[in-house]
């Protein structure tokens, strides 16, 4: 159902959901169809639920490092290598790029 009161960043009317579970289900459907990551939030203006694009650092939900932090995703091997170079200079840690086994892109690992 489209909201008649709430608009998104591009001026389009937002999809509205009556409950959190409906919003989560809606986000799942969009993820399957378009591959977009969306996060449900309850709207203060209308009291229904909308979906927000996830715009934080891209992290892999399926891979964690040794401290159980979710791993950052790099779109390309070059991007991962550039980041590894920076970390090596800043923190004196050697990291190695490897391809995410779940197809999310590239991660960095302490093990080569």
The residues binding Zn ion (CB under 5 A) are 6, 43, 45-46, 60, 63, 100, 102, 104
Strands 70-72 and 59-64: antiparallel
* 85 and 101 Cβ atoms separated by less than 8 Å: no
Closer residue to Zn ion in complex, CB, 6/39: 6
Closer residue to Zn ion in complex, CB, 38/60: 60
Distance of closest approach, residue 14 Cβ to Zn ion, in angstroms: 6
Residues in CB range of 15: below 8 A, 6 or more apart? 1, 2, 3, 26, 50, 51
Distance of closest approach, residue 89 Cβ to Zn ion, in angstroms: 25
Which residue has the closest beta carbon to Zn ion? 43
Distance of closest approach, residue 21 Cβ to Zn ion, in angstroms: 17
25 phi and psi, to 5 degrees? Answer: -60, -45
């Amino acid at each position: 159902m489209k909201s008649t009161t709430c608009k998104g960043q591009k001026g389009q009317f937002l999809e509205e959901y009556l409950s959190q579970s409906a919003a989560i289900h809606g986000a799942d459907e969009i993820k399957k169809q378009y591959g977009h990551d969306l996060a449900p939030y309850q709207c203060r203006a209308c009291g229904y639920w909308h979906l927000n694009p996830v715009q934080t650092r891209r992290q892999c939900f399926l891979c964690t490092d040794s401290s159980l932090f979710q791993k950052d995703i790099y779109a390309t091997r070059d991007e991962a290598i550039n980041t590894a170079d920076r970390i090596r200079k800043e923190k004196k840690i050697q990291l190695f790029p490897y391809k995410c086994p779940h197809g999310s892109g590239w991660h960095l690992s302490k093990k080569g």
